[in-house]
Amino acid sequence: MEEFASRLGVGVRSVAKWDAQPTIVPKPETQAALDTFLDQGGDDVKARFAVLVEGDRPPPPRVTHGNGVSAALPDFGLPGLPVGTATPELVTYLRQSLHQHYTADNRLGPRVLLPMVAANVKMIDQMRLAASGRLLDDLLSIGAGYAEFAGWLSEDSGDAGGAASWYARALEWSEVAEDDRLASFSLTRRAVQAIGQGDVRYGAKLARAAQRFNTPITARVRTIAATTEALGHAIAGDGGEADRALDTASGFLGIGLDAPLDGDPSYGRYCELDLYIDITRAKVQLELGRPEAVEAFTTVIAALPSDWQRDRAQYTALLAHAHLLAGQPEDASARGEEALTIALATGSTRTVGEVRRMAAKQAAMWSGHAPAERLREMLAAVPDVNGR
């Protein structure tokens, strides 16, 4: 029971309660995770589950792909829906489910969410073959949303190659569907990845390109793109360009306030944009070595929603860096331990890597410092992304 609860991302008491009270309905994101685990089981597992739930009901219908592989399709609860056929109702369901995945991301992390999101992309790729017209555009648009999110989850779990592949799929499908907002966001996500890999000048140009979709409905995404550009310039050491891009981001805040949020790939995944600009400003200050970074990150972390645990870990790791540069090794170690604990619970390899980088700098600056040694011992027990 403990292992199952850990894989699902819930408490052991919750699993025990489900066992004692089978009529309990879990939260939507938990239901989605349970569906994924069921689909990963063999046909015999699914058959036994069907018998337990509805007596004689057969296992879920299956579709045979071009490579001869037979795979189960989910039951979307839409009466009369032929297997593998796209409908407007199905697209609506998929859009709602994607938003639920966004909401669950900060609670469950990539370990639980990535398999089910990737499965949806594959299913959409199969269904698009028989779609046409507006339905095909809508299917490609929501498919691009799932592909972009799979890219983000892959990036957060340490799979850079997989992330780049998902982002490329998202950009292609959003361009074909003429979804400017999602195309802009896909470019922005790829820019974030490039900057994270050290290709900062190219990343800044990608983020600048993402701002070219000059319509009110894209203003929210362009704000995020401008902050990404600012961070790229800061890492490259160009403080003037970084400040300019931050000013551009602030200028986008008053545009498109009445634009619909339905289908916005950034909605539900970012805090309020004025706070997000403050977060980026704190990162810029850190990258440029400005002394305001400690206070800026402390203020930002205090303003985060209480359930945004993965982001709290990421910004706490950056606060540890800021303390380090400010000559405060005890505070740096304390914040590093805090960030590492949350990162391990959510499966965020990205944050673990951030703590590793901080600890390496700390070792060079304060060799033999007791809190730093304790943090390095904690990190030594954590495998890196290659399993070592």
Q: pLDDT tens-digit profile of 316-369?
A: 999 999 999 898 988 999 999 999 999 988 888 889 999 998 988 888 777 667
237 in the Ramachandran plot: left (φ > 0), alpha (ψ -120 to 50) or beta?
Answer: left
Structure tokens at 6: 């850990």
What local confidence, expressed as pLDDT, does residue 21 receive? Answer: 56
Nearest to 265 by CA among 155, 124, 171: 171
Residue 69 burial (C-beta neighbours within 10 Å; 0-12, 13-18, 19+): exposed
Name the residue with higher pLDDT: 26 or 204: 204
Q: Over the stretch 214-227, which tens digit does the pLDDT of each residue have?
A: 899 999 999 999 99
pLDDT tens digits along 138-159 = 999 999 999 999 999 999 888 9
DSSP 333-383: HHHHHHHHHHHHHHT-HHHHHHHHHHHHHHHHHSTT-HHHHHHHHHHHTS-
Computed over every residue of the chain, the mean pLDDT equals 82
DSSP state of 259: S
Q: Find tokens 């400017």 and name the residue.
A: 180
- Range from 5-9, 93-97, 238-242 that averages highest in pLDDT: 238-242
| pTM > 0.75: yes or no | no
For residues 12 and 1, the answer to whether their CB atoms sit within 8 Å is yes
pLDDT digits (tens, 9 = 90+) for 345-356: 888 888 999 999
Given a cut of 50, whether residue 107 has pLDDT beyond it is yes
Sign of the torsion angle spanned by Cα atoms 213, 218, 223, 225: negative
Q: How far apart are CA 226 and CA 232, in angstroms?
A: 10
Least confident of 10-14, 80-84, 95-99, 377-381: 80-84
